[in-house]
Structure 1
Amino acid sequence: MKPARQVVDGVLLLDKPVGITSNAALQKAKWLLNAKKAGHTGTLDPFADGLLPLCFGEATKFSAYLLDADKRYRAVLQLGVTTTTGDPEGEVLSTRDVAVNCAEIDAVLPGFMGEIEQIPPMHSALKHQGRPLYEYARAGIEIERPPRKVTIRSLAMTECVPPRVILDVQCSAGTYIRTLAQDIGAALGCGAHLTALTRLGSGGFKLEQSHTLAELEALDPARRHALLLPADCLVAHLPAVLLDDTEAEALRQGRSIAHAATESGLIRVYTASNTFLGLANANAGQLVPRRLIATPQA
């Protein structure tokens, strides 16, 4: 019999395999860790693989900070073929000859650098009137979608053997790589769709730091838990301050405290013994509790 679910706090950097949903990967990891509470920091499509940070217990309180972080991808494009979804899961819409060479492909990429506008794909989890767009798409209903601004920070071609092209993409959160592939194909005049996608990075985390489900299954419970990173790794980009015992207790009780923090805005707060308390807002010489770690009751 499997033991009762236990309190598990921390972040697991998972290397999601191709062929399963992000939620299925999360549920498998949750089961392997015997955790009570879990969540992810942004989904990967079933056909995609790569870095999928998973949050457990108290770490779920800070998952939004990684959800909004920049991402990096390895994207494989098939020129000359468009599909209904912009990826290999859709039906083929059109097939065209590919007459462009690598120099011509490389020449269009700068036009997609910086802040650009994308129209979100119908086959996405973006919601309209409370329902995800993919539900409308499956019913054959087209919903008008306003363009959204995203930022492509880096776009480099790492392999070019037309009609197959591989791109390294660093982008803001919310960027649809399928849409980027389709738009590049349209700019080349031959169309394109995404055949494979690997997430290489999210925030400050890299795929090389991640672990597969097979690795987790091969470990005993203690070694699985040893792979978890502390919750504050999700907010490591924020400045930090140490508090004395009186200040820490006041903050835990939900009270603001006087503190001359070096920067205004969100601050990581720790006890004098370097125990992570959570986040506070620093402003005008005050720290106001924002999101705190629950403390066990004696």
Structure 2
Amino acid sequence: MNAPLDPIRLQDDAPEIAAAAPAIQESREEARDEAREAPRKRRPKRDVDGWVLLDKPVGMTSTQAVGAVKWLFQAKKAGHAGTLDPLASGCLPIALGEATKTVPFVMDGRKVYRFTVRWGIETDTDDSEGQPTETSDLRPTREAILDLLPAYRGEIEQVPPNYSALKINGERAYDLARDGVEVNLAARTVVIHSLELVDQPDADHAVFEAECGKGTYVRSLARDFGRALGARGHISALRRTRVGTFPEEELIPLAKLREVSEAMDDAPPAFALRPVEIGLESLPALRVSSSDAARLAHGQPIILRGRDAPVLEGPVAITAGGRLIALGEAEAGEIHPKRIFHSGK
């Protein structure tokens, strides 16, 4: 059963919750060093279009990661497709230039996470960086965990963590929580496409893999598992292995990008730049003539004519002459341009 919140008990548990702290702190310091070093020299900005599939290190914020990649490529514009907490590592797709127009389609894609739950302690942040709030002596059996998981597959209602980037009356929830303001976030509908127990290295830990839809918080899963099992719990390790069509095997560590750039006298690590259109691989593709491409480029719709014209509805990726021209919306045989791409790549 759940133990009462006892200051003496929490002091006893402190070494457990902080077991990973040295490694996390070391990773954070390395990440901070990289973030500080990246902008140390002014570099001329240039037009760079494409995706960098970054393997984000533990300890670095997503904003710092974007800044480091933007500096390495001397890019004028950059953004990312889905925030990763500093505690998390893994897939952080970074869009440069024209690729930023495709970010919403990548963010809407499914994401895969591998995460470790530490039983016995719930924290205010639902991860190992927070302060303990509840404890339990109970440790769940494998059978109990497996019996629980079906309730968290499919469409579920989930309350986001209090320490999240969601806004309440214009302010971030995590800012309010840090200021001691009581945060009450409403439950939201999210989709868990798959959820599996993949390992139990010891009684205190369980490793899971989840494939989730947009808006799912893995930290909330750990919290809710712990409460449902009477064991309390928090995330002690988290890695995102896939975003949309971007797999773990194609990720490139930031250290590798820096190493290549330095070996080439601070030249951009062009080997890591992927085409803009990979952000649209989930969309139907439509090839058009040069005349139709010109109409679309001027904001004018085109009509799909003829018996062999494709039947399309919704967003489409439009190409002409082997290059990406526009994002369009197909409706009743017409294609309306929504975003025009000016890159020749």
The TM tier, using the shorter chain, reads: over 0.9
C-alpha displacement of 1:222? 6.0
> CA offset at residue 94 of structure 1?
2.2
Q: CA–CA distance in 2 between the matches of 1:136 and 1:156?
A: 34
Cα distance per residue 1:192-233 (max 9 Å; x no partner): 000110001110111110101110011136671231111111
Query: Could you say which residue in structure 2 is the equivalent of 1:265?
Result: 314
* Alignment root-mean-square deviation, CA: 1.4
Structure 1 gap segments, 5+ residues each: none
Q: Distance in 1 between matches of 2:248 and 2:140?
A: 32
- Inter-partner Cα distance in structure 1 for 2:312 and 2:342: 25
Residue 45 (1) aligns with residue 51 (2): no
How many residues end up aligned between the 2 structures? 295
For residue 140 of structure 2, give the secondary structure of its aligned residue in structure 1. coil
Residue ranges of structure 2 left out of the alignment (5+ in a row) = 1-40
Contact 1:76 1:195 in 2 (8 A): yes
Q: Distance in 1 between matches of 2:169 and 2:43?
A: 41
Tell me which residue corresponds to 2:285: 240
Task: Output the CA distance in 2 between the equivalents of 1:115 and 1:124.
Answer: 21
CA contact (8 A) 2:162 2:184 kept: no
Superposition deviation, residue 23 in structure 1: 0.5
For residue 286 of structure 1, what is the aligned residue in structure 2? 334
Correspondence for 1:275: 323
CA distance in 2 between counterparts of 1:192 and 1:295 reads: 48
8 Å contact kept, 1:98–1:163: no
**Residues 1:114 and 1:32: Cα distance change in structure 2 (over 3 Å):** same
Q: Which residue of 1 aligns with 2:207?
A: 166
Please give the secondary structure, in 2, of the residue aligned with 1:35.
Answer: coil
AA paired with 1:232?
A: E
1:175 correspondence with 2:175: no
Contact 1:96/1:191 (8 A) holds in 2: yes
Matches within 5 A, 1:67-106: 67-106=107-146
User: Residues 50-83 of structure 1: CA distance to partner in whole angstroms, max 9, x if unpaired?
Assistant: 0000000000011011112111000100011111
Query: Does the residue aligned with 1:106 lie in a helix, a strand or coil?
Result: helix
Per the TM alignment, residue 276 of structure 1 is displaced from its structure 2 partner at its CA by 0.5
Do the aligned residues in 1 keep the contact of 2:110 with 2:214 (CA within 8 Å)? yes
Choose 247-256 or 260-269, whichever is displaced more: 260-269
Mapping 1:67-146, distance limit 5 Å: 67-146=107-186
Q: CA deviation at 1:2?
A: 4.6
Confirm or deny that 1:154 pairs with 2:194.
yes
SS in 2 for 1:93: strand
List per-residue Cα deviations over 1:161-214 (Å, max 9, x = no partner): 221000011111110000000100111101100011000111011111010111
Tell whether 2:239 aligns with 1:194: no
Secondary structure of the 1:254 match is coil
The offset of 1:274, in angstroms, is 1.2
Provide the C-alpha distance between the structure 1 equivalents of 2:268 and 2:73, rounded to a whole number of angstroms: 10
Q: Quote the sequence identity (%).
A: 38
What secondary structure does 2:274 align onto?
coil
Of residues 64, 71, 85 in structure 2, which corresponds to 1:24?
A: 64
TM-score by length of 2: 0.83
Out of 279, 296, 300, the position equivalent to 1:251 is 296
Matched residue type, 2:137 = D
